[in-house]
Amino acid sequence: MQQTPIRYAVRIIITAICVANLTGLFYSCRKDPALVPPVISLIHGSGYISQDTILQPGQKVKIGIRASSSNANLTYFSIRFNDGTSQILLDTGMNSPTLEYTLDVIKTNSPKENWTFLIMDRNRVTQSVQIVFTKSDSSQWGQIRTLGDILLGAQENTVTGSFFSLADSSVMTLHQAYQNQPLADMVYYFGQYEGTLASPNEAEAPGFFTGPEGLINWSVKNETRYDTTLIAPGDFDLANNDSLILAAYEPTAGKKKGKYVEPGLIFSFKSPAGKLGLIKIVEVAPAPAGSVKMTIKIQK
């Protein structure tokens, strides 16, 4: 029987629909390739800790992290620290096929510390690795040095220097510190409202120490980290080992400056050399040409 144009058109439409349905069925049965997770591992070898370890409080160790992704760049990296309270030490974005990171860790006084290193790629697939440090039952407290009557001038003080060296306990002017940059561990300046302890690598310090020898022109910029504490001045005075120093130390809390300097305040700090210590503020002359007097107790 001869098909009319209408019947022929209807037949074409039905055929097209069937083909489309079969095509849809074919694609619906296809699966996306499995997302391969990134690879992250602890670096093994001399100088690195790569397994759960028992440590003395104050013991310093090095952790190395190596990560890679074969099908999508790494876009996120974090370091998390848990000693009973979960904290984030590092939380950063990136865009690279590989990562290699080294971290110096100082064992705190906590019974157990869990360090977690997490990586994520562009597909939002994550992978992590952990290491646990346990406090030794035979822990012994370390010796400390006491540096008393340290007087630092603020940025406009023309009599007393603003820079301090923990290595040789010297106070330096900007000119002297410029000539001895590796020795400059701390710096004091007075902002609009308050005195601040910082170091050459702190972001705002270059605005207070300018000129040809200003911090912006330094090639070596040490960094000291500070944290305020609730330690009483009397407890600071009685400390004769590093037990109080380690009790106050929080790996995730240190900042590049200690603000609102005032008499009686106790700062915890970590030096550029990785030594932990405490600073007691004794006196403050609050002005750009003023000064701060302090006592420092630091690990030997």
List pLDDT tens digits, range 76-90. Answer: 999 999 998 899 999
In this structure, the strands spanning 74-82 and 39-42 are unpaired
Q: Would you kindly state where each structural domain of the chain is located, as residue ranges?
A: 39-135, 144-299
Tens digits of residue pLDDT in 265-280: 999 999 999 999 999 9
The C-alpha atoms of residue 271 and residue 183 are separated, in whole angstroms, by 11
Instruction: Give residue 199's Cα distance to chain centre.
Output: 16
For residue 20, pLDDT over 70 is answered with: no
| Mean pLDDT (whole number) for 225-233 | 96
For residue 220, pLDDT over 80 is answered with: yes
Decide yes or no: CATH 2.30.30.90 for domain 39-135: no
Residues 261/290, Cβ–Cβ less than 8 Å = no
Higher pLDDT, 21 or 42: 42
pLDDT grade, residue 24 (50/70/90)? very low
For residue 211, pLDDT over 90 is answered with: yes
Residues 156/149, Cβ–Cβ less than 8 Å = no
For residue 31, pLDDT over 60 is answered with: no
Lowest mean pLDDT among 33-42, 126-135, 143-152, 177-186: 33-42
Higher pLDDT, 13 or 121: 121
- Helices (H), ranges, 203-297: 233-238, 243-248
**Ranked by mean pLDDT, which of 28-37, 92-101, 248-257 comes out on top?**
92-101
pLDDT grade, residue 178 (50/70/90)? very high
Provide the token pair at 96.
């690279």
> What is the pLDDT at residue 16?
42
Tens digits of residue pLDDT in 90-108: 999 999 999 999 999 999 9
> What is the pLDDT at residue 29?
39
Per-residue DSSP letter, 178? H
Closest CA to 61 of 113, 3, 9, 138: 113
Residues with Cβ within 8 Å of 19's Cβ and at least 6 positions away in sequence, in order, are: none
Q: Is 285 helix (H, G, I), strand (E, B) or coil?
A: strand
For residue 23, pLDDT over 80 is answered with: no
Q: Is 175 helix (H, G, I), strand (E, B) or coil?
A: helix
